[in-house]
Amino acid sequence: MNARVSRRHILRTGAAGATLVLGFGLYQMRPASAEASSAGLALFAPNAFIRIDSEDRISLVIDKCEVGQGVYTSLSMLLAEELDVGLDQVAIEPAPPDEQLYADPILHLQATGNSTSVRSSWMELRRAGAAARQMLIAAAAAEWRVDPSRCRTERASVLDNGTQRRLGYGSLAATAAQQPVPQNPRLKQPEQFKLIGKSPLRVDLPGKVDGTAQYGIDVRLPGMLFATVASSPTFGGKLDSLDDSPTRSIKGVHHVVTIRAQEFDVGGYKLHLDDAVAVVAENTWAAQQGLAALEPAWDRGPNQHLGMDDIVHALEAASERGGLVARHEGDVDKALSTAATRLEARNYMPFLAHAAMEPLSCVADVRGDNCEIWTATQVQARAQEIAAQLAGLPPEKVTVHNLFSGGAFGRRLELDGVALAVAISKQVGAPVKLVFTREQDIRHDLYRPFYHDRLRAGLDANGKLLAWHHRIVGSSIFARWAPQAMRSDGLDPDAVDGAIQMPYAFPNLLVEYVREEPPAIPTAFWRGVGDTHNAWVIESFVDEIAAVAKQDPIQFRRGLLSHAPRALAVINLAAEKSRWDKILPPRSGRGIALAYVFDTYLATVVEVTLSDAGLVTLQRVVCAVDCGSIVHPDTAIAQIEGGTLFGLSAALWNEVTLRNGRVEQSNFNDYRTIRIDETPEVEVHLVPSRETPGGLGETGTVAAAPALTNAIFAASGYRVRQLPIIKSIEGLKRRA
Amino acid sequence: MARLQINGATHEVDVPDDMPLLWVLRDVIGLTGTKFGCGIAQCGACTAHVDGKAVRTCVTRLGTVADRVVMTIEGIGATPHGRALQNAWLMIQVPQCGYCQPGQIMSAAALLSEIESPSDAQIDAAMAGNICRCCTYVRIRKAIKLAVSSQATAKRT
């Protein structure tokens, strides 16, 4: 692994970069640059992220997928800050697939996920920008025959302090490319930042308010056909026969395509596609009409009687087994045996769909000896590889155009949409835009796992916590998605994420994982990944222990955080801003949750009111965040605002359930999501810091559910132990 | 052959009368700013205007809009409300993924053409049909209020 990482590092930013990148060819989103490249004009490309041509065109290559988290802006700011160019002077190029050049330093994979984008890029992109700037200065100094120390830069020009001569970066591109790449370029001090820490208009926003932003679903190609697809309604079912005559009589329908079940392996990543049928037509409407008219006969297969009871019973049975030990300190059993008070809890978290606003979509054009795809993917190189496997081509014959994603929340870490689009295009011999119906999108997602957790704790007679035992039972996502990330004994690090690195000091601690896979149902990452699951369970139980110890939830947490000043600081800030000590009327309550995730500290206070009928109204949300150094504060706030509401929405209403082997939910009518008239005021308070940046895209979601269920406890005395909360409505009704 | 007035231009399309306006706009005419989200009028991503009223184009049949005035996100910036809303959306930095925002802006524009200065409750009521999965709702409220105040300022000066 180390050898691979260091090689990648050299390729991305090191001395060998210039020639390698020059030979690589530009990504084709920006025709002007591509022409410049093909015309052989001088091009300055000192690393994988910066290209400057002689016409002063500056392109920044962004290796992360813009899913709404603002990476096109924040990562550009890191490069532009040190390169000393304005955001108005650059164009963004989405990175092409390349595991060598663009593997994420934390994930060891070309991927956008786990809230790593700024964490991974903070030093690396700044170094890339600073190295390029230093080379441009060296080139100017050589041309002027002056010492480089006499030169400064501003807005893409080098200036001579002595004579006020000025040379634009474009005119220096050719000679700068001849300069050695500095290995340890000098970075700006925070006091010198012109961009970092400010909140310029996000570069992606103008197109997002006037309809011109291009998502994968918006691509139009000459001769392109439109497709939609229906997979086997039961997981693992088979297509027996297909009467497509009613479909073929619909105006505009060109093809009815059958796709047989397939297994893919892309560098360890496993994907299973069930049998599916697709209709390809002149427009999406004709395709959807054609699909509705199809009369496939399905062999419902081995899971045709599968229901939620089967899945939950299997998890409960598995919870009786001892698990793999994820963290063990002290002697939990002994401590529990001496405890004055013992508590136990069982928690249940449902399967969840991603339900991004943009239904899964991909445009594929497979023709002869090459293939092009246009989509939004969080894993560009894997997308290229799976398309290559299906098209029967070497990967380098597959071009991946990565566009804006209309939300993702982990959905586009999967490649079923790409695989299906390529399979359909190959069969019909034309460019095809595949767009899932919302029903296909919900019923054939890959789902956040259903988790069952068991917890035990013991307190002494003074209410002091003596022992903590947490057993996590559920599917392993990494076993399918990145088996190389599994611990050698089968421990899934994601399943225990957040459970083994809590900010609290517990004297005796045991965290275990029992892997139990649901039959046939694919499981996948969902916003906040393992932390979203574990934070709800842990912060609920901490709250419960505080209540048993008859202590205020915040005061009790403070007692466990004396060694963790940053955690303590966000708790205190949230308490102050939420006016925690102010008494609320009956049936109202505040709840707190603390998250230390993705190197960020977050304390969230949710305030709710319960109706007599047991319905929850969100009154107010206050978040206190310490995410270290902040690139774009307004985006930081936006991510916490949105991420928190996203988590509250899921906690209130969302579950994917199975009945007779099929997903019962289908669209936004039965997979409900928060609306503006249900949205409380959300306050986000940022703690000023110069620490290394923490992640923000998923952090708000992690703390949302426990803050909410703790607020419900404060309002009603009812402890929610299963999500979504709507399932507890009987328990939340006002007692006579 | 149906004739449509869209953003001030005339289009003739030869597709079935029962085709939803959404797909006429997106697939036949090529105006892709109007988005597909659900197909059953649950999410509002496909919102456009017909004769100045917000409609969900995913359930609005082509046959019902022939010869009527259709406005989409691509045209709304030419109207005072639309321009003020788009500017406010940028000032407040509302969008995240942005996919729902054309529909949000079209719903907000229809609201402002009906109620010059809507109350919080009127904003919530008018916008409740538009889902944002990034949950930018807090900022949508702020941006609508900013658009209202900026237009009021513009009128006074």
Tell me the CATH number at B138.
1.10.150.120
- How far CA A130 is from CA of A18, A185, A395, A646, B79, in Å, comes to 15, 6, 33, 37, 45
> For A453-492, how does the pLDDT look when each residue is reduced to its tens digit (9 = 90+)?
999 999 999 999 999 999 999 999 999 999 999 999 999 9
**Domain-ending residue, one of B56, B72, B88:** B72
Report the residue of A285, A378, A696 to disrupt the B interface, i.e. the one with the largest count of B CBs within 10 Å: A285
Nearest CA in chain A to B140: A676
Q: Are strands A588-597 and A600-610 parallel, antiparallel or unpaired?
A: antiparallel
Residues B32 and B104 in one domain: no
What is the rounded average pLDDT for all residues in chain A? 93
> For B42-75, how does the pLDDT look when each residue is reduced to its tens digit (9 = 90+)?
999 999 999 999 999 999 999 999 889 999 999 9
- How far CA A651 is from CA of A642, A648, A724, B124, in Å, comes to 14, 5, 5, 22
Residues B107 and B63 in one domain: no
Secondary structure (3-state) at A567: helix
Which residues are within 8 A (CB) of A109 and not within 5 positions of it... i.e. 6 or more apart? A99, A103, A379, A381, A382, A482
| Per-residue pLDDT, B53 | 97
Partners of residue A641 in chain B, C-beta under 8 Å: 135-136, 138-139
Q: pLDDT category, A141, cuts 50, 70, 90? A: very high
**Domain-ending residue, one of B54, B72, B90:** B72
| Per-residue pLDDT, B89 | 98
Outline where DSSP puts E strands in A495-638: 508-515, 588-597, 600-610, 616-626
Tokens standing for A266? 């892309």
Nearest CA in chain A to B43: A668
Contact assignment for A210 to B74 by CB distance below 8 Å:
yes
Q: Does A72 touch chain B (CB under 8 A)?
A: no
Q: What would the 3-class secondary structure string for A342-391 be?
A: EEEEEEEECEECCCCCCCCEEEEEEECCEEEEEECCCCHHHHHHHHHHHH
Residues B80 and B152 in one domain: yes
CATH 3.30.365.10 fits A216-302+360-435, yes or no: yes
Structural domain boundaries, residue B95: 76-156
Partners of residue B140 in chain A, C-beta under 8 Å: 676
Residues B93 and B148 in one domain: yes
By CB atoms closer than 10 A (0-12, 13-18, 19+), residue A260 is exposed
Partners of residue B100 in chain A, C-beta under 8 Å: 357, 406
| Rg of the Cα atoms in chain A | 27
| Per-residue pLDDT, A471 | 98
Partners of residue B128 in chain A, C-beta under 8 Å: 675-677
Q: Which of B137, B119, B138, B118 is nearest to B129 (CA)?
A: B137
Q: Which of B77, B97, B141 sits opposite A405 (nearest CB)?
A: B97
Which CATH class for the A309-351+447-732 domain?
Answer: alpha beta
| Per-residue pLDDT, A19 | 26
CB B112 within 8 A of CB B148: yes
Residues B49 and B121 in one domain: no
Partners of residue A697 in chain B, C-beta under 8 Å: none
Which CATH class for the A2-205 domain?
Answer: alpha beta
Q: What would the 3-class secondary structure string for A25-40 be?
A: CCCCCCHHHHHHHHCC
Q: Which of B20, B90, B96 sits opposite A642 (nearest CB)?
A: B96
Q: Which of B30, B77, B97 sits opposite A357 (nearest CB)?
A: B97
Overall pTM > 0.90: yes
Residues B90 and B57 in one domain: no
Report the residue of A112, A208, A678 to disrupt the B interface, i.e. the one with the largest count of B CBs within 10 Å: A208
Name residues 319-338 of chain A within 8 A of B (Cβ). Answer: none
Contact assignment for B96 to A646 by CB distance below 8 Å:
no
Contact assignment for A355 to B133 by CB distance below 8 Å:
yes
Number of domains in chain B: 2
| Per-residue pLDDT, A8 | 37
Tokens standing for B50? 């017909």
Residues B81 and B116 in one domain: yes
CB A649 within 8 A of CB A711: no
Contact assignment for B131 to A284 by CB distance below 8 Å:
no
> For A355-368, how does the pLDDT look when each residue is reduced to its tens digit (9 = 90+)?
999 999 999 999 98
Q: Does A67 touch chain B (CB under 8 A)?
A: yes
Q: pLDDT category, B111, cuts 50, 70, 90? A: very high
Report the residue of B91, B99, B105, B111 to disrupt the A interface, i.e. the one with the largest count of A CBs within 10 Å: B99
Q: pLDDT category, A12, cuts 50, 70, 90? A: low
**ipTM (interface predicted TM):** 0.98
pLDDT at A30 over 90: no
Average pLDDT over residues A62-81: 98
Phi then psi for B9, rounded to 5 degrees?
-110, 155
For the CA atoms of A400, A401, A407, A410, the dihedral, rounded to the nearest 10 degrees, stands at 20
Q: pLDDT category, B1, cuts 50, 70, 90? A: confident
Largest CA distance in chain B: 49
For CATH 3.30.365.10, list the domain ranges present in chain A. 2-205, 216-302+360-435, 309-351+447-732
> What are A373's strand-pairing partners?
A364, A400
Q: Which of B86, B125, B133 sits opposite A357 (nearest CB)?
A: B133
Distance of CA B156 to the CA centre of its chain: 27
Q: How far apart are CA A263 and CA A445, in angstroms?
A: 16
> For A99-134, how does the pLDDT look when each residue is reduced to its tens digit (9 = 90+)?
999 999 999 999 999 999 999 999 999 999 999 999
CB A350 within 8 A of CB A408: no
CA atoms within 13 A on the CB side of A612: 1
Nearest CA in chain B to A527: B134
By CB atoms closer than 10 A (0-12, 13-18, 19+), residue A536 is buried
> For A642-697, how does the pLDDT look when each residue is reduced to its tens digit (9 = 90+)?
999 999 999 999 999 999 999 999 999 999 999 999 999 999 999 999 999 999 99
